[in-house]
């Protein structure tokens, strides 16, 4: 069955159109991403300009859906619409405009879909794995033990939130870096206590910022689902961006222009997690929420 799923995140909107067979992606037909920056200026209230950017993205997605003659469309919205005071209003506006079923899912549901996405791209059947999905409003962590979910949690530490609260100076100051690390230590303390029981953990970073560590060919090839990356790449990029202002960051190779604003806090976050886990490498999974959602037959009951 050919299905389309749209993921409305805090900074980006994605569409995936795929042929799904026996609860797995059989063939990817189309993928597209638009940067909407719904979280720009904070998530208390999504601005009219941001709503316009989202509407434009969905209009583009509507064209792709028609081109692929896809009749089964679902929309999942995450932290931005969960948190914003006008989230429900935006949801209704989109339903009225496009007619697609739109769900604002919980952090737990989001983490579950991310797990089912990553589980199609990399082997999670043995040992301990930690799936990490960095969004604009939240970051999801899913701990897997021998193929089964041990815990799945959503934390309000997305890169838009970190940027708006802490990244005031440009370049970022050492004091601001210290404040972020203190905040992360406090927010994630219980998770680190639980993970301390694991002997060795494989980190699986899902899409988004993690894709800056992939070669362009890996990013562009829709048949590549996952790749291994050395932590040395994280250290190198962190040293490159942490002392640069926004204009200087534009000159750093391989950072998409849309990620320039938030890249410092994003790499800080990845560096923080890989340091805590004592890793030398990790897996980047190009499969995440939308790949997990599209195989959920219960979503597509007409």
What per-residue string of b and e applies to 60-76 under the rule 16 or more CB within 10 Å gives b? Answer: ebbebbeebebebbbbb
The answer to whether 89 touches 51, Cβ cutoff 8 Å, is no
Helix (H, G, I), strand (E, B) or coil at 132: strand
Q: In the block, which residue shows the tokens 């490498």?
A: 281
Report yes or no on 116 lying in a domain.
no
Q: Are residues 128 and 246 in the same domain?
A: yes
Report yes or no on 94 lying in a domain.
yes
Phi, psi of 35 (to 5 degrees): -85, 120
- At residue 20, the pLDDT reads 96
Q: Which domain holds residue 79?
A: 2-107
Q: Are residues 75 and 223 in the same domain?
A: no
Report yes or no on 37 lying in a domain.
yes
Report yes or no on 40 lying in a domain.
yes
What does the pLDDT average to over 23-32? 94
pLDDT exceeds cutoff 90 at 268: yes
Helix (H, G, I), strand (E, B) or coil at 75: strand
As a whole-number percent, the residues of the chain with pLDDT over 70 amount to 100
Token representation of residue 164: 């708006």
Q: Which residues are CB-neighbours of 23 under 8 A, at least 6 positions away? A: 295, 297
285 dihedral zone (left: phi>0; alpha: psi -120 to 50; beta): beta
Q: Which of 211, 215, 220 is nearest to 266 (CA)?
A: 211
The per-residue pLDDT for range 240-253, each reduced to its tens digit, is: 999 999 999 999 98
Beta strands in 110-222 (DSSP E): 128-134, 139-145, 148-155, 201-206
- At residue 43, the pLDDT reads 83
Cβ neighbours of 125 (radius 10 Å): 11
- At residue 8, the pLDDT reads 97
Structural domains counted in the chain: 2
pLDDT exceeds cutoff 70 at 261: yes
Residue 101 is part of a domain; what is its CATH number?
3.30.420.40
The per-residue pLDDT for range 131-162, each reduced to its tens digit, is: 999 999 999 999 999 999 999 999 999 999 99
Please report, for residues 2, 10, 202, 267, 293, the alpha-carbon distance to residue 264 in angstroms, rounded to integers and kept in the order given. Answer: 38, 17, 24, 5, 30
- At residue 302, the pLDDT reads 67
CA separation for the pair 141, 200 (Å, rounded):
16
Q: Mean pLDDT for the chain?
A: 95
Q: Are residues 25 and 133 in the same domain?
A: no
pLDDT exceeds cutoff 70 at 36: yes
Q: Are strands 281-285 and 201-206 parallel, antiparallel or unpaired?
A: parallel
- At residue 148, the pLDDT reads 93
Report yes or no on 118 lying in a domain.
no
Residue 152 is part of a domain; what is its CATH number?
3.30.420.150
Report yes or no on 299 lying in a domain.
no
Q: Are residues 99 and 204 in the same domain?
A: no
Q: Are strands 72-77 and 102-104 parallel, antiparallel or unpaired?
A: parallel
Q: Are residues 251 and 142 in the same domain?
A: yes
- At residue 40, the pLDDT reads 86
The per-residue pLDDT for range 183-242, each reduced to its tens digit, is: 999 999 999 999 998 889 999 999 889 999 999 888 888 888 999 999 999 999 999 999
- At residue 199, the pLDDT reads 83
CA separation for the pair 48, 36 (Å, rounded):
12
Q: Are residues 18 and 74 in the same domain?
A: yes
């Amino acid at each position: 069955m050919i299905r389309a799923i749209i993921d409305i995140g805090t900074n980006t909107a994605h569409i995936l159109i795929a042929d799904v067979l026996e609860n797995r992606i059989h063939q990817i037909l189309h993928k597209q991403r638009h940067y909407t920056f719904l979280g720009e200026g904070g998530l208390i209230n999504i601005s009219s300009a941001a709503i316009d950017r989202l509407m434009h993205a969905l209009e583009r997605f509507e064209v792709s859906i028609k081109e692929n003659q896809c009749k089964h469309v679902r929309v999942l919205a995450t932290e931005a619409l969960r948190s914003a005071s006008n989230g429900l209003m935006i949801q209704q506006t989109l339903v009225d405009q496009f007619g697609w079923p739109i769900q604002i899912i919980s952090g737990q549901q989001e983490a579950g879909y991310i797990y089912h996405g990553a589980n199609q791209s990399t082997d999670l059947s043995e040992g301990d794995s930690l799936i990490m999905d960095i969004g604009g409003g939240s970051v999801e962590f899913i701990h897997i033990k021998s193929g089964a979910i041990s815990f799945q949690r959503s934390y309000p530490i997305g890169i838009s939130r970190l940027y708006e609260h802490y990244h005031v100076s440009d370049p970022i100051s050492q004091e601001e870096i210290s404040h972020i690390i203190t905040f992360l230590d406090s927010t994630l303390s219980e998770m680190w206590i639980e993970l301390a029981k694991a002997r060795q953990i494989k980190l699986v970073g899902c899409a988004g910022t993690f894709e800056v560590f992939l070669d362009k060919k890996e990013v562009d090839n829709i048949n590549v689902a996952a790749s291994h990356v050395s932590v040395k790449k994280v250290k190198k990029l962190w040293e490159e961006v942490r002392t640069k202002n926004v204009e200087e960051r534009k000159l750093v190779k391989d950072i998409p222009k849309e990620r320039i604003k938030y890249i410092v806090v994003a790499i800080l976050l990845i560096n923080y997690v890989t340091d805590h886990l004592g890793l030398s490498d990790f897996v980047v999974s190009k499969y995440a929420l939308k790949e997990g959602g599209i195989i959920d037959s219960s979503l597509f009951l007409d």
